[in-house]
């Protein structure tokens, strides 16, 4: 009969926080008092832990047990502290030795049958533990894959409570541990390649410019056009994520739960394409990060974009501006990172057919749904469906590797120019700096200035064209944009790339 103290952790948003579980077993009538958990969760936790004990063949304390979860002010709504509560009770009841327990953090939900079930956010929770000087963690076996990514941490995957109790009783925990190898960043091969896309030279160029400058993109094409193929290949020409970005994205996937954790390949910019029937919670996040956060530092692709509900299309403007989403949850506000390149695809009309039968009004209404988002998009292009590949004289396109090389060189030019500023890509540079610090060739801006004066361009779109012109200059290894770069940027902004029906895209 003693008291015991065990580390656990919780995740709020995508940030892990270390917490403590104290258990005390004293003489008295058998009872378990749980403090420090939200009222609603207390009964459920008590029932789960008790059932897990009994179904694991462990003796439930035949006396008065008190468990306190600290600190009190954190929202400990999850179930990840179950395992730590069980371990603290075992130690306090004298069923396992308590020496050395403080060097570990215990993470896991208990099933009624004693199984240790996976939890959300293992990665950020272990990061928090490592940062607090506790690099050893017992984790659910189902989370072992994601936890193996943390350099310097030793993890022990555990299947059920009986197994863990046995290891603790015999002092075997340490030898069950796996230290993660300190592997360097791999350059992950992608299963898709830009060479798969036939023809569509204009759209491929638009994709390359978008990748080089970090610009948002609108792919307009009829049903069955290779818009999705193109969007899916954008990550293959983007620069790989550096270690810091990879870690950031891994934590988001871990916080989204074990279903998602394995979907992120470290180093590869993620691509997320939610369906237009997705809920607001699935898109923006709630208890777990949503699609906009899973696309962080990668690509958010909305196919059939005009089919998404207005509330979602409107809501996307906040992450596009702020690079994050804010979700209110009880007394807590959770911020999820959400800085992504947006790619929209839509046919120009509701019917989507090449031989369109829609009225001019229906066509206007269709794209008007996207107006609020298209305001934020710098590049528009048409994607055409090729019915007779080969017969049109279209040779296979360049490979992703060849395009990625030009994109990387362009990004390097941009980042060298932007050294000492808070911006890394052309897409981020404010208009004022574009006009004052980074000068263009004399006279090159005349067509833009005229368009601004006649109202053909807004101040916002003026800046968008100028940003894209800088990216085109970077791709062409030109020091500063001249007339040609401005012309092409203006054409990309207008969506004037050639289409089969000869209609402008906007
Ligand atoms: Zn139509």
363 CA from centroid of ligand 1 (Å): 7
Ligand 1 geometric centre to CA of 389 (Å): 24
Structure confidence at residue 331 (pLDDT): 73
Q: Where are the domains of the chain?
A: 3-179, 194-422
Tens-place pLDDT, residues 148-200 = 777 788 999 999 999 999 999 998 888 887 665 444 444 456 789 999 888 88
What per-residue confidence (pLDDT) applies to 351?
87
- For tokens 């943390």, what's the residue? 150
Q: How far is the CA of 306 from the centre of ligand 1 (A)?
A: 13
Report CA(380)–ligand 1 centroid distance (Å): 19
Question: What is the predicted pLDDT for the residue at 472?
Answer: 97
Question: Ligand 1 centre and the CA of 307: distance in Å?
Answer: 14
pLDDT score, position 16: 92
Residue 309 CA to ligand 1 center (angstroms) comes to 20
The pTM is what?
Answer: 0.85
| Cβ atoms within 10 Å, residue 195 | 16
The pairing of beta strand 136-140 with beta strand 154-158 = parallel
Q: What's the token pair of residue 494?
A: 């207008």
Candidates 3.30.230.10, 3.40.30.10, 3.80.10.10, 3.40.50.1110; CATH matching 3-179: 3.30.230.10
Distance 362 CA to ligand 1 centre (A): 8
Return the pLDDT at 417. 93
Write down the pLDDT at residue 378. 95
The pLDDT of residue 497 is 55
Segment 69-73 long-range contacts (CB within 8 Å, at least 24 positions apart):
69/8, 69/19, 69/20, 69/21, 69/22, 69/34, 69/35, 69/36, 69/37, 70/19, 70/20, 70/21, 70/22, 70/36, 71/19, 71/20, 72/36
pLDDT at 210: 97
Distance 356 CA to ligand 1 centre (A): 4
Q: How far separated are the first and last CA of the chain, in Å rounded? A: 76
Query: Angle at which helices 82-92 and 39-55 pack, to 10 degrees?
Result: 60
- Compute, in angstroms, the gap from residue 71 CA to the centroid of ligand 1: 60
Are the beta carbons of 365 and 396 closer than 8 angstroms?
no
- Distance CA(504)–CA(46), nearest Å, equals 65
Ligand 1 centroid from CA 223, angstroms = 10
Can you tell me whether residue 341 is helix, strand or coil? Answer: strand
For ligand 1, the distance from its centroid to the CA atom of residue 505, given in whole angstroms, is: 14
For ligand 1, the distance from its centroid to the CA atom of residue 373, given in whole angstroms, is 21
Q: What pLDDT is stored for residue 386 in this prediction?
A: 73
Q: What is the pLDDT of residue 392?
A: 54
> With pLDDT > 90 as the criterion, what percentage of the chain qualifies?
59
Going from the Cα of 503 to the center of ligand 1, the distance in angstroms, rounded, reads 13
- pLDDT for the residue numbered 444: 87
> Who's near 100: CB < 8 A, 6+ residues apart?
171
With a cut of 70, which residues of the chain have pLDDT below it?
1-2, 39, 76-77, 178-189, 258, 387-396, 497-506
Q: Quick one: pLDDT at residue 234?
A: 96
Tokens at 367, concatenated: 């794209």
Q: What CATH number does the domain located at 194-422 have?
A: 3.40.50.300
**Residues, beta carbon < 5 Å, ion ligand 1:** 349, 351, 356, 358
């Amino acid at each position: 009969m003693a008291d015991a103290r065990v580390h656990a952790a919780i995740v709020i948003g995508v940030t892990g926080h270390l917490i403590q579980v104290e258990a005390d077993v004293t003489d008295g009538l058998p009872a378990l008092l749980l403090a420090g958990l939200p009222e609603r969760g207390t009964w459920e936790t008590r029932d789960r832990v008790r059932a897990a004990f009994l179904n694991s063949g462990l003796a439930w304390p035949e006396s008065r047990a008190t468990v306190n979860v600290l600190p009190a002010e954190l929202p400990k709504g999850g179930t990840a502290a179950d395992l730590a509560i069980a371990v603290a009770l075992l130690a306090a009841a004298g069923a396992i030795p308590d020496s050395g327990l403080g060097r570990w953090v215990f993470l896991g939900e208990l099933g009624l049958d004693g199984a240790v079930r996976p939890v959300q956010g293992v990665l950020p929770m272990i990061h928090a533990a490592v940062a607090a000087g506790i690099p050893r963690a017992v984790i659910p076996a189902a989370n072992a894959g994601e936890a193996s990514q943390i350099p310097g941490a030793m993890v022990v995957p555990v299947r059920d409570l009986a197994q863990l109790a046995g290891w603790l009783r015999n002092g075997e925990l340490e030898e069950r541990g796996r230290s993660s190898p300190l592997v360097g960043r791999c350059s992950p091969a992608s299963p898709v390649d830009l060479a798969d896309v036939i023809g569509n030279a204009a759209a491929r160029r638009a994709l390359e410019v978008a990748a080089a400058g970090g610009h948002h993109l609108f792919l307009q094409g009829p049903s069955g056009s290779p818009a999705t193929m193109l969007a899916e290949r954008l990550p293959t020409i983007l620069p790989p994520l550096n270690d810091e970005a990879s870690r950031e994205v891994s934590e988001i996937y871990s916080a989204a739960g074990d279903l998602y954790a394995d979907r992120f390949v470290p180093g590869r910019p993620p691509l997320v394409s939610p369906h237009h029937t997705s809920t607001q919670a699935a898109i923006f996040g709630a208890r777990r990060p949503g699609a906009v956060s899973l696309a962080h530092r990668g690509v958010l692709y909305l196919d059939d974009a005009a089919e998404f509900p207005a509330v979602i299309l409107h809501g996307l403007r906040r992450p596009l501006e702020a690079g994050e989403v804010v979700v209110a949850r009880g007394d807590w506000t959770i911020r999820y990172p959400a800085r992504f390149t947006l790619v929209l695809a839509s046919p120009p009309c509701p019917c989507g057919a090449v031989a369109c039968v829609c009225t001019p009004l229906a066509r206007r209404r269709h794209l008007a749904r996207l107006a609020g988002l298209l305001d934020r998009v710098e590049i528009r292009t048409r994607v055409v469906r090729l019915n007779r590949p080969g017969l049109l004289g279209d040779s296979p396109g360049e490979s992703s590797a060849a395009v990625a090389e030009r994109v990387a060189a362009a990004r390097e030019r941009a980042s060298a120019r932007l050294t000492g500023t808070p911006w890394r890509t052309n897409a981020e540079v404010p208009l004022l700096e574009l006009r004052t610090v980074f000068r263009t060739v004399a006279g090159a801006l005349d067509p833009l200035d005229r368009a601004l004066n006649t109202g053909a361009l807004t101040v916002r779109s003026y800046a968008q064209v100028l940003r894209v012109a800088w990216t085109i200059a970077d791709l062409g290894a030109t020091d500063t944009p001249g007339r040609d770069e401005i012309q092409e940027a203006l054409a990309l902004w207008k969506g004037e790339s050639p289409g089969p029906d000869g209609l402008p895209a906007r």
